[in-house]
Amino acid sequence: QVMSLLGMFAIVIIYIATLCNLILSVYSSTIPINQLVVVEPSSYVVVRLRGYDQEYSTLKANIKSLPSSGSIYQLSQVYNKYGYEPKAGTQISSVDTNITGSNNRFVYKRPIRDVLSNSAWDRIYFTIYNPISESHNGSITFVPPSGAIVGSNFMFSNEDWTITGNKAIQDSTFEPKNIGSQLSFYIYGTDNEIYLKNGIDSTLWYFEAPVKFLTNLGISYGGTLSFTLSAFSGNFNELNGNSLHVVELICDDCIGPVYQGITLAWPINAENFKSFTGSTQTFTFSLLETVGWVKDPQNSLLSWTKPSQCDMIQVLSRISKIRILGDWTTWYETVALDNVLIANTEGKQPTCSMSISDASICTC
């Protein structure tokens, strides 16, 4: 019996040691630093792949994916050693390529014939490694001078935006028309269901973003979400109360206050928010937790609270839904949406949210 107890004790000790090693490996392993790099059209930039390691000061880098529209190069020997032109050396044309430039530097080039867009130029993935271990994938997002990361301008279609909150999910309607300088080729939705409760329509409809927006947007932290709205019908003197959410950012997989999921929203009663009156209006929202966003407490008896920095970064990094309010009034309305853009020109995502690529471990 004593031997049996000793055996069980040994198993417990091994389990605790394994768990401790796992925790230590997560928090002390090599961490790649996600970066945002602004690149002019038809231009190039020298980029340094960065990482953090508690034990090793000398780290190496490895390319894990190739750009889709630009090209990447090792540093030329003359630039690497003496700082003379040309900067670009051998083109990197395959993955799992180690960076040979000093300080893990390489060159990213745009095509000579380049066209601006409302999305990022490229995103490439890399790892940082020390003599005994390799990090998870980090990313560098290359953006045009506008900082565009992902967007919809509806030049050719509705880009798979849908209308949710009505009787059923339906496609938004694409309208290839120009209305003034702010609305050019847009989508619109119409209220198909009204259920008034205490004078307020409780069945609100939203424009919901397509799958191209539902990627890791952690690098947009500190940037902006913007879009243009315009109404063709509706009485905007009778809004659906002061608790309307202009925008909702939803992470279905994040750990919530009570159950799984986090919803962040920008209410119309946020400080300094200029509400929609039906006229063509462009809205811009800062993607920082300190400027107006609130978090669902997942308890109807509690008020929505300010999110933490980790809440904002985790939701952006693991975004499941982006919703923009269309149902502003207590009765029927028709509302158009145009020029949706998530943009950033300065990477502000802190290292304390980069232990895992999707920020599911965040210690900020």
CA 6-8-10 angle, to 5 degrees, is: 70
Could you give the count of Cα atoms lying within 13 Å of 97 in the half-sphere of its Cβ?
19
300: Cα separation from own chain's centroid: 28
Number of C-beta neighbours around residue 135 at 10 A: 24
CA 299-303-306 angle, to 5 degrees, is: 110
Cis peptide leading into residue 307 (ω within 30°): no
Torsional sign, CA 148, 151, 157, 160: positive
Q: One digit per residue, pLDDT tens: the chain, 364 residues?
A: 544 554 455 445 544 544 444 444 444 478 999 999 999 999 999 999 999 998 888 999 999 999 999 999 999 999 999 999 999 999 999 999 999 999 999 999 999 999 998 999 999 999 999 999 999 999 999 999 999 999 999 999 999 999 998 767 899 999 999 887 788 899 999 876 666 565 555 678 999 999 999 999 999 999 999 999 999 988 888 777 677 899 999 999 999 999 999 999 999 988 878 888 899 999 999 999 999 999 999 998 999 999 999 999 999 999 999 999 998 888 788 999 999 999 999 999 999 999 999 999 999 9
Residue 71 is predicted with a pLDDT of: 98
Tens digit of each residue's pLDDT (9 = 90 or more) over 64-84? 999 999 999 999 999 999 999
**Pairwise CA distance, residues 312 & 364, whole Å:** 11
**Pairwise CA distance, residues 50 & 33, whole Å:** 5
Query: Which pTM value belongs to this model?
Result: 0.89
Counting Cβ atoms within 10 Å, is residue 201 exposed (0-12), middle (13-18) or buried (19+)?
buried
**Pairwise CA distance, residues 348 & 352, whole Å:** 11
Residue 263 CB partners (closer than 8 Å, separation 6+): 248, 249, 250, 251, 295, 296
Judged by phi (left if over 0) then psi (alpha if -120 to 50, else beta), residue 348 lies in alpha
SS3 212: helix
